[in-house]
Structure 1
Amino acid sequence: MTFLKSCFSLIAVLSLTVFISGCGKGEAIDHAEEYISSIDTMDIPDDVEVIGLGEATHGNVEFQELKQQVFETLVINEHVRVFVLEGDFGGGQQINNYILDGEGSADAAVNSLDYPIYKTQQMIDLVEWMYDYNKSVQDEEKIRFYGNDMQRYDYSKKNLLDYFAVVDKEAATKYSDQLKHVSNETMRDLTTKQLENVDKTIDHILQDLQANEAKYLEHSSADELAFATAYAQNMKQRTQLFLSEENYTNLRDQYLAENLQWIMKYEKERGNEKVFFSGHNGHVEKTSASPAGYKSMGNYLDEVYGTKYFAIGTDFINSEFQAKNDGSGNRKTFTVKNQHDLVDAFSEVKSNTFYVDFEKSRESEELSKILSSKQKMANIGDDFRSWYKLLKMFYTIEMVPDKAYDGLIIVKDATPTKVIE
């Protein structure tokens, strides 16, 4: 009987927790329409050099569609020509080759990222739009695509070895043999000793590229050498993540920031002054608010670029989203509700998706107070458990909106993506 009472008590507490955690206390404000805009009319300050778009989940159609919607707006209004995704650097170049030269297909290019979250119709549509756009403009106006993540080996390794096959066939054979056991499929099975040997091999490759620069430039362009070096560097970052598991999350965001800076520097030399980045909210926001205690990519960018970094977050009120279930790798659809003062303030806006301009919103005393106070904002990764819904701390991060972001896109009702197998 005591056991049953305890069970009923626990159920009651959890039920109350679910009820409380899903309830917002905020109220809709008057004249909310004055502080919002549609995505295609959102305003970005002229001196901004990098625009970050976060996504509250990786598994909603609307957040994936926003990648294209926001980027199209930036291409038209801000003359942005560079798209950077929280995706594999080497695989990203497969997408770049497709949108510039028509190599392969949009489906194959998206699959090269080797991230299930991107194997969606929305991502294929984005890549197809980029391809079609590039066919309609002159070379200097063409869009470039990059990934700035380093969690894969295959395409960076392939592209690096392809470079050596052109500039030094003997070196290509040697490095191919030394890296033969390194792949996306086998990388998680590598022992510490093997990883240390991989790390040493990559160091030798980086030294080789630097020491033989003049020789290699006789058989390749400066751009090709720069990318070969970047492929090797991304492989080293991947290896270092495995060798530093206790610091994985912090190191990854540091590398994300470093790779984005490399892309920005490279593209500036081509005349492209502005770059767009799309990734999870946790990477875009500026305050490192995650309770996991790591420094976010957005925090690094804020330190380096200051007001030249413009961060746009996303949030929802209701979300039915897809994510991996219980660490099994199987995907499932979950439903959560998230309310806090900021989204509640705009709850009576008729549009389902709209941009909240923080600068304009500060003209409202009511909104200014909300923006400068902590809010539990949506933050869901690609792994979710059903019991996470019991406490908001498992699917939100408490942060001060106008310190973390410069603007916010709210999706009132978000629907799930479907991963294409």
Structure 2
Amino acid sequence: MTDPIRDAARPFHGDSLTALLPATTRVLGLGEPTHGVEAFPELRNELFRHLVEHEGYRSVVLESDCLMALAVDAHVTAGTGVLDETMERGFSHGWGAYPANRELVAWMRAHNQERPPGERLHFYGMDGPLETAGAASPREALTFLYDHLAPHLDLPVSRADLDGLLGADEPWTNPAVMMDPSASVGRTPEARELRLVADDLRALLTAHSPHLIAATSPDDWWRADLHGRAAAGLLRHHAAMADPSPARVGTLMALRDTMMADNLDAIVRREERRGPTLVFSHNSHLQRSRSSMSWDGRRVEWWSAGAITAERLGDRYAVVAANFGTRGSDVPAPGSLEGILSGLPDARSVVDPKRLAEVLDRKPEHRIPADHTYASLDPSTLDLVDAVVFLREV
């Protein structure tokens, strides 16, 4: 390890990381290279505490179901429900079982208890109501929006007709749809009609927002808008699930990241007067470059939520890519970027990518992961991240 490369890094600390970020940052994306390694959410917790206590951050967003996350937010802000129940029903993808996520929720609740409502930390999910095996029925999201509007406006469809169009939930959530587009109900006449209904209801929510907010509250309107976004996103997703063409997988990936980006956009607008926001997700969802994956022998590419958010926010969006060196028997090659960074003296380092690019005397190799769930850092995209957090071993 040469001295110039060491000069591009500092021991990990909140101050050493924020020193590399634009002063205009309102959304800080902290990525992890793989899910299921506790070292990364633990690092997230440490960073979030620093950001709250020293940088004025007032919210955190996780790669979890945006509707389920409402239960977590109610718990941390108002003490609704007990912690065990909140962890069980407030997270998708099994994230509620992770000790670091439990620690985060407990710390946020304790932090909020002695503070007035306007200063309390908020918790959000940015993902749609999606799981690996498929997507939720649009019933919960669409009926929530309908029931919010119905006491105040004349609606273009009755509740009974809406229930009839939705039908039973089982066809929507049929796991066979993931591999068999013909099993999907996403392009039935009823599903097409539901997309029009969702669009009409969302338009009414916006058109009558001054009246609705006065009659309910800003928070009630925001939750209705969240459910409207989720309903529209789910109906688009189910329609794409029914697509038998080779473009199906790429479309599904793009639609998921679009839902994430739209949720982040709404969170930024809600939080803009309170403080910046930390977002924690996989690197592939937060990066400014295109995301990609191999599927059935083909390379599938799409624009990530981070790339879309970066276009919307400009220098108000900053992204930090986290990665690691050794994991068990998976040791990076010496010529890879991770192999080079493994020579840093500290177990956890913050690396300035611009300085690193200046002092590297050769182009690093792209690490070939031993685990397909792990995404190594692409050396060619270092100029698209504001900082790298590197853990020598996990």
- Using the size of structure 1 for normalisation, the TM-score is 0.73
Q: List aligned pairs for 1:265-276, cutoff 5 A.
A: 265-268=269-272, 271-276=273-278
User: Which of 321, 332, 335 pairs up with 1:338?
Assistant: 332
Match for residue 184 of structure 2 among 186, 192, 206: 192
Give the Cα–Cα distance (whole angstroms) in 2 for the partners of residues 395 and 260 of structure 1: 23
Secondary structure of 2:302's match?
coil
Answer with 182-191 or 203-212: which moved more.
182-191
Distance 1:267 1:350 in 2: 38
| 1:303 maps to which of 311, 315, 320 | 311
Aligned to 1:319: 327
Cα distance in structure 2, aligned partners of 1:346 and 1:374: 10
User: How far apart, in 1, do the equivalents of 2:32 and 2:370 lie?
Assistant: 9
Show structure 2 runs of 5+ residues with no match. Answer: 178-182, 242-247, 293-298
1:97 to 1:358, Cα distance in 2 relative to 1, 3 A: same
- SS of 1:292's equivalent in the other structure is strand
Q: Is the 8 A contact 1:378 1:397 kept in 2?
A: no
8 Å CA contact 1:87, 1:148 repeated in 2: yes
CA distance in 2, matches of 1:406, 1:141: 28
From 399, 402, 411, give the equivalent of 2:382: 402
Report the Cα offset of residue 118 of structure 1.
Answer: 4.5
| AA matched with 1:88 | D
Q: Alpha carbon RMSD of aligned pairs, Å?
A: 3.3
- Are 1:237 and 2:233 matched, yes or no? yes
Partner of 1:83: helix, strand, or coil? Answer: strand
- Is residue 2:109 matched to residue 1:131? yes
User: How far 1:277 sits from its partner (Å)?
Assistant: 1.0
Q: What is the match of residue 359 of structure 2? A: 366
Structure 1 residues 395, 149: closer, same or farther in 2, change over 3 A?
closer
Question: Distance between the aligned counterparts of 2:202 and 2:240, measured in 1?
Answer: 26
Equivalent in the alignment of 1:58: 35
Letter in 2 for 1:83: V
Structure-2 change in CA distance of 1:239 and 1:374 (3 Å): farther
User: Residue type matched to 2:389 in 1?
Assistant: I
Aligned residue number for residue 119 of structure 2: 141
Are the counterparts in 1 of residues 11 and 346 from structure 2 also a CA contact under 8 Å? Answer: no
Indicate the residue corresponding to 2:82 in structure 1. Answer: 105
CA spacing shift, 1:374–1:185, aligned 2, 3 Å: farther
Q: In the comparison of the two structures, how many residue pairs are matched?
A: 356
Amino acid at match of 1:182: D
- For residues 132-176 of structure 1, what are the alpha-carbon distances to aligned partners after superposition, in whole Å with 9 as ceiling and x for unaligned? 111133322211111111143769854664565465379556545
Note closer, same or farther for the CA distance 1:194–1:312 as it changes in structure 2 (3 Å cut): closer
Q: Pick closer, same or farther for the CA change 1:288–1:146 going to 2, 3 Å.
A: same
Rounded to whole Å, the distance in 1 between the matches of 2:149 and 2:262 is 27
Contact 2:264 2:309 in 1 (8 A): no
What is the distance in 2 between the residues matched to 1:58 and 1:85? 12
Map residues 23-42 of structure 1 onto 2, 5 A cutoff.
28-30=1-3, 32=6, 35-41=9-15, 42=17
Task: Report deviation, 1:311.
Answer: 0.8
Query: C-alpha displacement at 1:217, in angstroms?
Result: 5.1
Give the aligned residue type for 1:37. Answer: P
Within 5 A, what are the aligned runs for 1:349-388?
A: 349-359=344-354, 361=356, 365-367=358-360, 373=363, 375-376=365-366
Aligned to 2:169: 182
- Aligned mates of 1:395, 1:99 — CA distance in 2: 32
Instruction: Find the residue that maps to 1:146 and give its secondary structure.
Output: strand
In the other structure, the counterpart of 1:120 is 98
Supply the AA of the counterpart residue of 2:194. Answer: T
Q: Which of 208, 221, 228 in structure 1 is aligned with 2:217?
A: 221
Match of 1:47 among 14, 18, 24: 24
Alignment partners' CA distance in 2, 1:234 and 1:380: 36
SS of 2:221's equivalent? helix
Given the two structures, how large is their TM-score scaled by the length of structure 2?
A: 0.78
Cα pair distance change 1:37/1:353, threshold 3 Å = closer
2:227 is the alignment partner of 1:253: no
Inter-partner Cα distance in structure 2 for 1:398 and 1:65 = 24
**Does the CA contact (< 8 Å) of 1:33 and 1:349 recur in 2?**
no
SS in 2 for 1:103: coil
Could you tell me how far apart the structure 1 residues matched to 2:171 and 2:70 are?
17
Which residue pairs with 1:82 in the alignment? 59
- Equivalent position of 1:18 in the other structure: none
Q: Is the 8 A contact 1:282 1:379 kept in 2?
A: no
Q: For 2:3, what is the secondary structure of its paired residue?
A: coil
- Matched with 1:8 is none
Aligned identity (percent) is 19
Change (3 A) 1:116 1:165: same
Give 1:33 shift: 6.1
User: How far 1:301 sits from its partner (Å)?
Assistant: 2.2
- Return closer, same or farther for 1:33/1:67 CA change in 2, 3 Å cut-off: same
* CA pair 160-254 structure 1, distance change in 2 beyond 3 A: closer
SS at match of 1:338: coil
Q: Which segments of 5 or more consecutive residues in structure 1 lack a partner in the other structure?
A: 1-27, 321-334, 385-393, 415-421
Task: Give the C-alpha shift of residue 78 in structure 1.
Answer: 1.9
